[in-house]
Structure 1
Amino acid sequence: MASEFDLIRHHFSRPTRHTDLAGGDDAALWQPTPGHQLAVSTDMLVEGRHFFADADPTDLGWKSLAVNVSDLAAMGVTPRWALLALAVPDADADWLAAFADGFYACAEAFGVDLVGGDTTRGPRNLSITICGEVPTGAAIRRDGARVGDDLWVSGHPGRAALALWHLRDRLPLAADHRDACLAALHRPQPRTALGLALRGRASAMLDVSDGLLGDLGHLLDASAVGAQIDASRLPDAALIAACGDAERARQACLAGGDDYELLFSAPLAQRDAIAALGRSLALPVHRIGTLTAPAEGLTLRAADGTNTALARAGFDHFTA
């Protein structure tokens, strides 16, 4: 059986692009770009909690890094370096090779160097710390939204939830939508290009990992605002077409999670520029509502103009 160091040397030692010293020493070394701040984030994926035991290891390799890249995209940060702490029940060479291929495919796509980490035997657990750079003062935080700003979301939030319900609960999905839903769950696409382009345009931003409403609540709290969502503007048409159930589609869109789309606010003056940006990136961006006074809370505006209070439903690792 391969030793820990053989495992690292064989599967996780590949050339880096912007790192002075990567794996093989007690710490990695790199030089931040002058005039930039470092941004650091950590995410953990645990078997049985975040992925099925029989999950494809190549997809899992991609996703484990992608969800971290998404955290940086949500602040307008360029991803640069990652560290991987990997616990596996055994040194299965085929599983590790496939996982590494998926991980490095994502790293190549988004310009990330794997610079170190750790491995051990144990229940399968994937923990990644990612670092990136952003010009000093340019990061898009959660606390910059203002009353009257537009509320936007990218892509098709809810597809990953439909895929999960399809796999776990046997929810039927239309054949012409099934692959897109499964891809959203297994191969999320961090919206890095959009995040970088929204510097100086978005007033606040985060990514949708635990459900649109749940994550929106974090933005509302940080910025001390409320929000009115326009039901007619929610991007749920494709979800309805996929599952044939409007109520289930609305639930997936608002509370499904695992999408890694960007949810952001922006002044009205940026409306046309953001719509044009979406077209230039070939990425749908949907203006779904307006930020309101904090006393108004979070509401859903129906087609007849009536407002209904919304709960901040989302995934919680300790209560779900």
Structure 2
Amino acid sequence: MTSETREVFGQVGIWSSALHRSRVDEAGKAAIADAVAELEGLGFGTLWIGGSPSPGDAAAVVEATRTVTVATGILSIWDHPAEEVAARVAAIDARARGRFVLGLGVSHGPMVPQYAKPYSAMVAYLDALDAAAPPVPDGQRVLAALGPKMLKLAAGRARGAHPYLVTTEHTAEARAALGPEALLAPELSVVLDTDLDRARTTARNMLGMYLRLPNYTDNLLRLGFTESDFDGGGSTRLLDALFALGDAERVRARTREYLDAGADHVALQVLTADEGGAGLPRAEWRRLAGVFSDEL
């Protein structure tokens, strides 16, 4: 990773699907604005708006912050025409001044009726972003890449890759596929609970949905897991490979494992038993900021 990219993203960020302004009422919008302003103050390098956000969601987070990098994690190419996205990115840039990054992904067949030839669809989408007036430059976009072909595309046509639900082994393989200069910013889901049985229950409540999506299960099978690891919301072996479970120091140690495996930046998604990851876990974010003070 270049020094410029390191400065833009930082080593540790926050990923949250609760930052969708369009999904909440006015009180919810105010809560999001207050939360992202606090996250910026805590020193996290990048705020990732998770769960298929819109350009409008990104614009609201940019508007509520001053210096932190804001990224979509991940905008679905099937939901937003490239020409419209390019125009919205240009409008966001007027406020963001270089701190907005467009994360793009092909989503999943079971979730998208028109899903077909995802790699070719992504190439065509990037071509359209290049041809737009103004274009979205390679350095302002990252791809949700898991397999070798999409990782290679991320290295050649974007700033790098933002893989979701991956292990440290995948991180090492992705770094080899991307080369030394491209950004590698995996997501890592976190349960801050020292009762590991309860923490694994929280993790399974989130993971079960993703284990119905072939893009993820195929990737996990490539990494050496078996179909039996997907039963019951995920085996203990699978959970321990995909999540950081325990106290904040354990989360820091797991994050270091991803960085040592080749990640430049790790986007932490906090899951809680009562909210299932859907709320704004501000107390947990503060606890993480405390243990990551040297990295932030």
Taking structure 1 as the reference length, what is the TM-score of the superposition? 0.25
Larger radius of gyration: 1
- The structure with more helix, counted as a fraction of residues: 2
- The structure with more strand, counted as a fraction of residues: 1
Taking structure 2 as the reference length, what is the TM-score of the superposition? 0.26
